Amino acid sequence: MKNNHRINLSLLPSTSEVTEDGQLFIGGVSVSEVVNEFGTPVFIYDETHIKSKLNEAKKVWGKNVAYGSKAFICKYLVKLIDQSGIRIDVSTGGELSHCILSGFDPSRIVFHGNNKSVLELTRAISYGVGTIVIDSIDELERIEKLAVLNVKSEPINTMLRLTPGIEAHTHEYVKTGQHDSKFGFSIFAETTKQAVNRILSNTALKLSGFHFHIGSQIFKLDGYLEAMKVVAEFIKYYDIEELVIGGGLGVPYLNSDSQISITDWAKYIKDAAKSCGIDSKVEITAEPGRSIVAAAAITVYTIGTIKKIDNIRTYVSVDGGMSDNPRPVLYSSGYEAFLPNKMNSIGNLICRVVGKHCESGDVLVNNANLPENIEVGDLLATPVTGAYGYSMASNYNKVPRPAVVFVEEGQTKEVIRRETLEDLIRLDL
Ligand code: LLP
């Protein structure tokens, strides 16, 4: 693969190739071809990349590993997860229904959420969801009441989410393991043991294990070890089948970022469990989201306006923005930018890539390094947009959500169509 050194090719989907004349191909399809057929902005996902991450996760964690669907979900991805044989983690009734309507086996769904409603729980129980992860005393009370009415012969399978009281090294908004958190049962509260005992003494409920999740986009794995120490101390009194450590593995977004593989992450966690004396009969498993899909996709935009302000900076405006990628605005997340049709062009134009929304804060890349021959009409891409991009997309400023296209072996498959202007008004009465 040829490298023009502007974008580290390891940030791109795994089947990416650059031709002599600087055209990017993914899954054997040129980016231009996808754009000609589906327009911009468009999310292009490399199906081979996703399958290989799913396989890696299954290989190192086992088939009970669950894909964290909040990172990105659609019918077609549900089918790929189904074929891989692993589970899916959903965190709302909406994600749950999406997976059920896409034909996923309910017994392989793990249902999370810090405020599951009676309706969501009723549906989950009637679908026969494999595991409900109980997040609070209020939710336990709701489940106890519903369990009395449950007509199924099997008890409702549950896990309990523990908050271990440790701080993960990541952005404040995506930390979840600290005491001051809306999620889970504090491991040090007396009521947590009482909740466990209530589940254990209820024949309509089963407790298959415990869960904790310390945060997302984590590179310093020692936070997991700290959490594991505290959790091991708590769970040793209970006879459980599994301990789920949530998701959280960080992925590189920038040329300068380092990478930890899913395999090394699993090894670290399993070694940590061992060193904390967790019974080897307890299955240690996880819920990776970002690490499965983030690097599988790029977002491709068209450049519409280039504004040079003398002695200040150049703004490059594209036809999307904070509505298809709110992460820079929400978490100050950094991205790279490149021109998928001019991969080998030279020169360094340091510029700010912005969207088309009515906000100065609508920035996609603060200091992008683009070639000097950039022109209006060029395609511009940001890599590593496969997780928490489309899933967090909005219609702000009535901008329709992009199309999502999967590519593999020279074939394109539109898996989510572009929203139309009619779609934008469909809910209005
Ligand atoms: N399990 C639970 C209980 C979770 O809350 C999450 C993510 C995951 C698994 C998957 O974590 P991952 O492997 O993707 O880190 N919108 C933020 C990320 C929010 C993560 C929420 N929970 C972002 O764009 O960075």
Same domain, 230 and 117: yes
C-alpha 385 to ligand 1 mean position (Å): 14
Q: Ligand 1 in contact with 112 (CB < 6 A)?
A: yes
Which of 259, 294, 329 is the last residue before a domain boundary?
Answer: 294
Structural domain boundaries enclosing 185: 47-294
Give the Cα-Cα-Cα angle 165, 95, 396 (nearest 5 degrees).
95
Q: Which atom of ligand 1 is nearest to the CA of 176?
A: 5
CA distances from 354 to 165, 314, 336 (A): 39, 10, 13
Same domain, 130 and 272: yes
Which pLDDT value is given to residue 176? 74
Q: Which residues pair with 298 in a beta bridge?
A: 44, 383
Protein residue closest via CA to atom 2 of ligand 1: 246
Protein residue closest via CA to atom 23 of ligand 1: 388
Query: What tokens were used for 421?
Result: 């202007």
C-alpha 70 to ligand 1 mean position (Å): 7
Same domain, 309 and 347: yes
C-alpha 248 to ligand 1 mean position (Å): 6
pTM of the model: 0.97
Question: In which region does residue 289 sit, left (phi positive, over 0), alpha (psi from -120 to 50) or beta (all else)?
Answer: alpha
- Cα gap 340→324, rounded to integer Å: 19
Query: What tokens were used for 351?
Result: 């510029």
Contact 53, 292 (CB under 8 A): yes
Q: Ligand 1 in contact with 327 (CB < 6 A)?
A: yes
- Single-letter amino acid code for the residue at 424: L
Close Cβ partners of 123 (under 8 Å, ≥ 6 residues apart): 93, 96, 97
CATH of residue 107: 3.20.20.10
Which pLDDT value is given to residue 338? 97
Same domain, 347 and 289: no
Which of 251, 275, 294 is the last residue before a domain boundary?
Answer: 294
Q: In the chain, which residues have pLDDT < 70? A: 1-5, 175
- Cα gap 41→404, rounded to integer Å: 9
Which pLDDT value is given to residue 5? 54
CATH of residue 365: 2.40.37.10
